[in-house]
């Protein structure tokens, strides 16, 4: 199930060309989260952290769908729906919620590639939810797109960067959706630092 969770977060992603300036949300240790809004007031998030890890360990973590709740905030489960080729995965992710927010889900296609020289791993996420039936009890997120960039640094440190956005759909007020999304991104990146060391093992076949 390699890369089965290239989705992430209950804010997911769409890399949007926009001139709006990034605003600081919060920082905790190596983790920093910023945000901005597009012309339609849709939230875009940018986050980064550093962890004692390798890009391969990050892939091993994403393969372990059974333990997604240990690091990805507000997630219930993730299911691999298809693998058109070695570097492409289609994943259905389910998110929990507390009142007044309804449960959400999304179906995304993730395509990854790694530079043979620098070792930088990139994961491009796009929305394919319109191709799959809706699930009762869940609001299907829309316009999901995003980009992960994993950059190896000195002393076995991995720089993890993410930028993206998604339309949560439904009648969720922007200020509530934004609050949930930003908090989830911060928690997810902090938990990545904690769980990644457990996934250090030989590189998967890339």
d(CA 6, CA 137): 23
pLDDT over 70 at 202, yes or no: no
Please answer whether residues 139 and 30 qualify as being in contact, where contact means their C-beta atoms are separated by less than 8 angstroms.
Answer: no
Q: Each residue of 31-79: pLDDT tens digit?
A: 999 999 988 889 999 999 999 999 989 888 877 877 888 899 999 999 9
pLDDT over 60 at 107, yes or no: yes
**CATH dotted code for 23-199:** 3.30.530.20
- Per-residue pLDDT at 66: 78
- Per-residue pLDDT at 39: 83
Looking only at the bridges linking them, the beta strands covering 139-140 and 104-114 are parallel
In the chain, the percentage of residues whose pLDDT exceeds 70 is 88
Q: What residue segments make up the domains of the chain, in order of their start?
A: 23-199
- Per-residue pLDDT at 19: 60
Contact partners, residue 142, CB within 8 Å, separation at least 6: 127, 129, 166, 167, 169
pLDDT over 80 at 153, yes or no: yes
d(CA 63, CA 57): 10
d(CA 150, CA 148): 7
pLDDT over 50 at 15, yes or no: no
Closest CA to 9 of 169, 137, 168: 168
In the chain, the percentage of residues whose pLDDT exceeds 90 is 57
pLDDT over 70 at 88, yes or no: yes
């Amino acid at each position: 199930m390699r890369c089965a969770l290239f989705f992430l977060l209950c804010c997911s992603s769409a890399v949007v060309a926009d001139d709006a300036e990034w605003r600081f949300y919060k920082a905790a240790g190596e983790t920093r989260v910023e945000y901005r809004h597009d012309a339609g007031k849709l939230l875009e998030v940018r986050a980064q952290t550093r962890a004692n890890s390798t890009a391969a360990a990050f892939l091993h973590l994403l393969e372990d769908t059974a333990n997604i709740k240990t690091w990805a905030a507000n997630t219930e489960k993730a299911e691999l729906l298809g693998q058109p080729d070695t570097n492409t995965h289609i994943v259905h992710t389910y998110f929990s919620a507390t009142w007044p927010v309804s449960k959400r889900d999304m179906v995304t296609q993730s395509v990854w590639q790694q530079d043979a020289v620098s070792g930088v791993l990139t994961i491009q996420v796009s929305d394919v939810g319109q191709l799959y039936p809706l699930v009762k009890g869940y609001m299907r997120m829309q316009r999901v797109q995003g980009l992960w960039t994993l950059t190896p640094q000195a002393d076995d440190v991995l720089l993890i960067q993410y930028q993206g956005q998604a339309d949560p759909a439904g009648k969720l007020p922007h200020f509530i959706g934004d609050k949930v999304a930003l908090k989830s991104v911060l928690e997810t990146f902090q938990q990545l630092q904690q769980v990644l060391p457990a996934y250090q093992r030989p590189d998967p076949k890339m």
